[in-house]
């Protein structure tokens, strides 16, 4: 499993763009929003948490189709499916690799981008917490969408249609956590719900993804 993880990470870094592209996309989203809504600081501060979450979500979506596509094309997915470790574990490792290459950089860069959007001071901590708790769920759910569309020639658009509705609960609780943090309100409920959704997603969704891959490899 560790070998698979290092392999995936190495592939993502050496193929180029793995780390950079998602981040650049995130930056572009953050840059474009003030052009759309105007440069007034108070408006930006109010919507900053939502924009940061949306940006992270879209940046994550951008790289989903590559999770299984390359392995499917060159046949290594067949090898992984027949390998001694269960396919569910393969999926989990793939999701982890995806998170390290896209989710983690987003989490690390988010405070910098938050400065651009005048995010209020107390919210920074909760922005980090919410992204750290929420983005793993985005990656794991992404493997499910990627597994469903892996056999398709042009699955990209379909993938977003399938995956984005699944992101709704995570987005709601994640953005709500930051918003409440910014206003100094009680944060226990969104915090525990976000953590709970992520934990359940990591525990259960790999089974669905693995089932979908098995169907596609048949």
Partner 1 sequence: MSIWEYANPVKFMQTSGWLLPWVFGATVLTLVPGLVWGFFFTPLAEEFGATVKVIYVHVPAATLAINIWVMMLVTSLIWLIRRHHVSALAAKAAAPIGMVMTLIALITGALWGQPMWGTWWEWDPRLTSFLILFLFYLGYMALWEAIENPDTAADLTGVLCLVGSVFAVLSRYAAIFWNQGLHQGSTLSLDSEEHISDVYWQPLVLSIVGFGLLFVTLLLLRTRTEIRSRRLKALEQRERMA
Chain residues in the site for partner 1 (CB under 8 A): 144, 148-149, 151-152, 155, 158, 161-162, 164-166, 168-169, 172-173, 176, 189-190, 193, 197, 205, 208, 211-212, 215-216, 218
Query: Toward partner 1, which CB reaches closer, 14 or 218?
Result: 218
What is the 3-state composition of the chain as percent helix, strand, coil, each rounded to the nearest 5?
85, 0, 15
Helical H segments across 63-187, by residue range: 66-73, 76-82, 87-98, 104-116, 123-149, 156-163, 168-183
Q: Decide whether 4 or 193 has the Cβ nearer to partner 1.
A: 193
Where does residue 65 rank: exposed (0-12), middle (13-18), buried (19+ CB within 10 A)?
A: buried
Nearer to partner 1 among residue 100 and residue 211 (C-beta): 211
> Nearest CA to 110 among 128, 97, 134?
128
27 vs 193 by CB, closer to partner 1: 193
Query: CB of 39: closest distance to partner 1 in angstroms?
Result: 26
Q: Given the complex with partner 1, which of 59 and 159 has the nearer CB atom?
A: 159
Q: What does the DSSP 8-state code read for residue 217?
A: H
Task: Output b/e per residue, 114-126; b: 16+ Cβ within 10 A.
Answer: bebbbbbeebbeb
Q: Could you give the CA distance from residue 5 to residue 85 in angstroms, rounded to a whole number?
A: 13
Q: How far is the CB of 41 from partner 1 (least distance, A)?
A: 25
Minimum separation from the CB atom of position 62 to partner 1 (A): 18
CB of 69 to partner 1, least distance (A): 15
CA atoms within a 13 Å half-sphere pointing along the CA-CB vector of 104:
10
- Cβ atoms within 10 A of the Cβ of 169, count? 16
Question: How far is residue 77's CA from residue 71's CA, in Å, rounded to a whole number?
Answer: 5
Name which of 48 and 175 has its Cβ closer to partner 1.
175
Nearest-approach distance from CB 174 to partner 1, in angstroms? 10
Minimum distance of partner 1 from residue 175's CB (angstroms): 9
């Amino acid at each position: 499993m560790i070998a698979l993880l290092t392999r995936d990470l190495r592939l993502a870094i050496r193929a180029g763009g793995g780390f950079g592209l998602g981040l650049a996309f995130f930056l572009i989203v953050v840059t474009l929003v003030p052009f759309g809504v105007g440069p007034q600081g108070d408006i930006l501060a109010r919507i900053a948490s939502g924009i940061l979450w949306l940006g992270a979500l879209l940046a994550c979506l951008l790289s989903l189709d590559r999770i299984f596509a390359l392995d499917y094309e060159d046949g290594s997915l067949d090898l992984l499916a027949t390998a001694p470790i269960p396919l569910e574990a393969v999926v989990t490792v793939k999701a982890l690799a995806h998170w390290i290459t896209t989710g983690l950089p987003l989490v690390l860069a988010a405070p910098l981008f938050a400065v651009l959007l005048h995010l209020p001071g107390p919210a920074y901590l909760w922005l980090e917490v919410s992204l750290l708790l929420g983005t793993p769920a985005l990656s794991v759910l992404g493997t499910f969408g990627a597994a469903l569309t892996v056999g398709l020639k042009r699955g990209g658009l379909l993938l977003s249609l399938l995956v984005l509705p699944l992101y709704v609960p995570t987005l709601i609780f994640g953005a709500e956590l930051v918003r409440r943090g910014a206003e100094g309100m009680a944060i226990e409920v969104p915090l525990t719900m976000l953590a709970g959704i992520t934990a359940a997603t990591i525990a259960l969704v790999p089974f669905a993804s693995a089932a979908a891959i098995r169907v596609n490899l048949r």
